[in-house]
Amino acid sequence: MLLTVVDYGVGNLRSIAKSIEKANSDSKLNYSIKVSSDINDIKKSDKIVLPGQGSFKACKNGINNIKGLLDELNQSVLVKKKPIYGICAGMQLFATKGYEEEETNGLNWIPGVVAKLDIGKTNFKVPHMGWNELKIENTSKVFKDVVDNNHAYFIHSYEFIPQDKNNVSITTNYGKDVVAAVSQENIFGSQFHPEKSQNTGTKILTNFLNL
């Protein structure tokens, strides 16, 4: 069994891989964990993790700049229905469009937009950074061990707003309810960083491996 963390030039990939390796030791299966930008590795993968760090535009450009990567991601996720987990901006890329820097097309796997985190006239600061409580909205196989008031680690200035609220698995309150995790069939992702969220993050990654 192979899990590939997609290396397209963004994100702390070693930290993510190490967290998945820890979850792998807790899971019922024995995965090989590979960090790779090789299209053939993604083709051979049973599961995929799409990290993300920096702007929506920079992340999408990173994917576009690797020949064949976008097509293979679409083939693996939409046609072959391989489970994928997106982290932070990696999850945001699931959207139809993002508006960071300039309007940019996303992967359009979960229809919606990524817009500037608008917390109105509150005392909260942007970026939303640090530990925050989670609230379960819809059940999901990957987030099944997360309960209300579990904490996770966030750092972001933009938020994913899906068209269909049924795709929202978890929210967090930061002056308002903000989407913290999404699910749709074989597609899962979190705005928070599971690799920085201690036991909660490890449980989620273990669930993903055990799908």
Q: Establish whether 159 is a catalytic residue.
A: no
CA distance 161 to 110: 10
* Residues whose CB falls within 8 Å of the CB of residue 86, separated by 6 or more in sequence, listed in order: 49, 50, 51, 52, 92, 93, 94, 187, 188, 189, 190
CA distance 10 to 8: 6
* Distance set, CA 11 to CA 89, 90, 155, 164 (Å): 9, 9, 13, 28
CA distance 191 to 156: 8
Catalytic residue among 59, 88, 100, 137: 88
For the sheet containing 32-36, what is the strand order? 32-36, 2-6, 47-50, 84-87, 187-190, 177-184, 168-173, 135-136
Q: Establish whether 193 is a catalytic residue.
A: yes
Q: 180 and 170 in contact (C-beta within 8 Å)?
A: yes
Catalytic residue among 72, 137, 159, 195: 195
CB atoms within 10 A of CB 103: 11
CA distance 62 to 42: 16
Catalytic residue among 59, 72, 100, 193: 193
Q: Establish whether 133 is a catalytic residue.
A: no
Residues with active-site annotation: 88, 193, 195
